[in-house]
Chain A
């Protein structure tokens, strides 16, 4: 077992759901909250503890877009590309974010593990279109330049934190 994942945390999550395999989605959600993704070790551990085929857990984890098998960055930026955001030009915002961070559709997380840029279908904030979320915070009425400013601020905060 690697350091990514300690049994104790997983046990706590399992205990909370009374080791009920029917709660597997909630269990995976809480695991992802803890690690920002689903570590490989968690699959083996849950399969064993819940007496559930690992293929079944993997099936569920790959069915839902929201679960990630790859480690995500400290800041997860979700760019809304729902109908309203799309017509209010969300794509240029997305392109700018990717360009600034050197990301593509295939590579969604920066090498320094700081930023992840994802597309989501609708954030439910159509009045603020085009909108993004940075972790849990919603930021609306974006332009590509504004998006770049947000990135710059976050990066600056990080370098201050380091110093």
Chain B
């Protein structure tokens, strides 16, 4: 670990393991501007906004300079200010500047820095190309004319998610970020996780918006609009709504949706309780038979996409459980099937890939209508609340509706990496004492680390569990399992690093804030009097009523079969 003192603007700052000057400068309380730096990605050094001046007058990019004892640097000299303004002007000179009609308006890093550095005019002619938008994906929309070539999306997609759907194409003045052969993103290896949009500083990659369809449904008196809200959403909007980061705002969200015209509002954590029961059953069955182990979780739609595209041989190992959203949507459609109005289910999710999941063929009803009609992300929910003009802080919290009005703490912690596992463990653990429950939290399932392991005794057998978030971590683990280097009985995979609290549909925040969000969910669990999914009092009545004879039809899915079906059709086409 490096150590020593660096003089930053004549103030001594101690090096404590920082690997680059930028981290040290930010530690000293100076928000040095950057476009292309993320601590979890490799250092790229492209945007040059973080340049600093040394005592000798040399200019260095702080992100790619290791701190050394005795360095003396300056972060705000007149020369640096001039350089930064010039960089911004040059970036703006070939950038679409229709800020007022941009999806990223108000949240754009380029806009923010242009304002911060007082860019009042751009001296160069605007040479931005009008390129068609790529709207092929249900999860994200790409607009090349707003790309500043920082490469954040490219590195996120490749380094953290191991997907590599996009890269730099061509070079020099012709360079752009695109897919191979510039094909629509939907035809690429993209899994819809949306992490590219989460790191994009501008409007070049944004979440696909579905708020207009939801508003239409809400304003139609002939439509009954039923909402479900995912666990991670309630802790995701605090920062943007003038509340504490990570604060549980479920009650206020319910109130806001009702005021917008929602007819029924439910908590996806209730759906998650059904997932826990079904998945625990399935897991115990496989443990007994010893077949198709490890069992991979199926809650994360980006992970399902990834497995289909990269490891179709593992599809049989993936749990047959639908995700909590899909389980709940099919139950809600069943519940309200005799309504005299058209029923529209809207899911509020921390996730972009859920938009793709909702449209999957497996999740269409007998009339080819999706069980989940629309998915909006936390960010879209925030936009709708803002558009409504409600003063969020003044909304009085409200409870969700009956008959699905109860949920367990186990269902709520689904929103954080390790949560699904902990919920299933609570279900299968023979010891139902409070002490046993508390000790589960310390088996290694908690925390935002990308790879976690846990062991648990089930009867006389030690059950081995792995929990990964981030698809690169998943890939590494799968390779170890396939090579025989590691063995697990149960593997939880979440595509977004940290789990759903850090989903791409949530407002993008720092790692510290992600920690607060996950704490928010664990707090909600602690305050919940129902800890285990099987203790949810609605279970009995739903299984013996609504779900009777329909468990398989409404709660399960066979991804392997649909993959084989698609593949068969593809082969047929090729033969033709």
Contact = CB atoms under 8 A, between A and B. Distances in A.
A40 B180 CA distance: 10
B442 interface: no
Contacts of A43: 180-181
Interface stretch (A54-62, A121-129, A150-158): A54-62
B167 A59 contact: yes
Contact of B179 (A47, A52, A55, A63): A55
Contact of A62 (B164, B165, B169): B169
- Which range contains the number of A residues in contact with the other chain? 10 to 19
A158 to B, nearest CB: 32
A54 B547 CA distance: 45
Contact of A58 (B158, B163, B169, B171): B169
| Chain A interface, >50% SS class | helix
Interface string B174-193: 00001111000000110000
A102 interface: no
A59 B168 contact: yes
Contacts of A58: 167, 169, 179-181
A53 interface: yes
Contacts of B168: 59, 63
B41 to A, nearest CB: 16
Contacts of B166: 55
B158 A53 contact: yes
B181 A63 contact: no
Interface string B145-183: 000000000000010000111111111000000111100
Contacts, number: 44
Nearest to A53: B164
Interface string A28-71: 00000000000010010001000011111111001100000000
| Chain B interface, >50% SS class | loop
A58 B169 CA distance: 7
A59 B189 contact: no
A21 B181 CA distance: 20
Contacts of B179: 55, 58
B158 A62 contact: no
B181 A53 contact: no
Contacts of A53: 158, 163-165, 167, 180, 189
Contacts of B169: 55, 58-59, 62
Nearest to B181: A58
Given A53-B163, A53-B189, A55-B165, A40 B181 contact: yes
A66 to B, nearest CB: 12
Interface in A80-122: none
Contact of B158 (A47, A56, A57): A56
B314 to A, nearest CB: 16
A12 to B, nearest CB: 23
A40 B181 CA distance: 9
Contacts of B158: 53, 56
Contacts of A63: 168, 170-171
Interface in B372-422: none
Contact of B170 (A40, A47, A62): A62
A42 B485 CA distance: 32
Q: Name the residue in A40, A47, A52, A56 with the highest tally of chain B Cβ atoms < 10 Å from its Cβ.
A: A56
A56 B158 CA distance: 9
A55 B164 CA distance: 7
B188 A55 contact: yes
A52 B181 CA distance: 15
Contacts of A56: 158, 164, 167
A57 B171 CA distance: 14
A56 B180 CA distance: 8
A55 B190 CA distance: 11
Nearest to A54: B180
Interface string B231-244: 00000000000000
Q: Name the residue in A47, A52, A53, A56 with the highest tally of chain B Cβ atoms < 10 Å from its Cβ.
A: A53
Contacts of A59: 167-169
Interface of A: 40, 43, 47, 52-59, 62-63
22 contacts: A43-B180, A43-B181, A47-B180, A53-B163, A53-B167, A55-B166, A55-B167, A55-B169, A55-B179, A55-B188, A55-B189, A56-B158, A56-B164, A57-B180, A58-B167, A58-B169, A58-B181, A59-B167, A59-B168, A59-B169, A62-B171, A63-B170
Closest 5 CB pairs of A and B: A53-B164, A58-B180, A59-B167, A55-B167, A54-B180
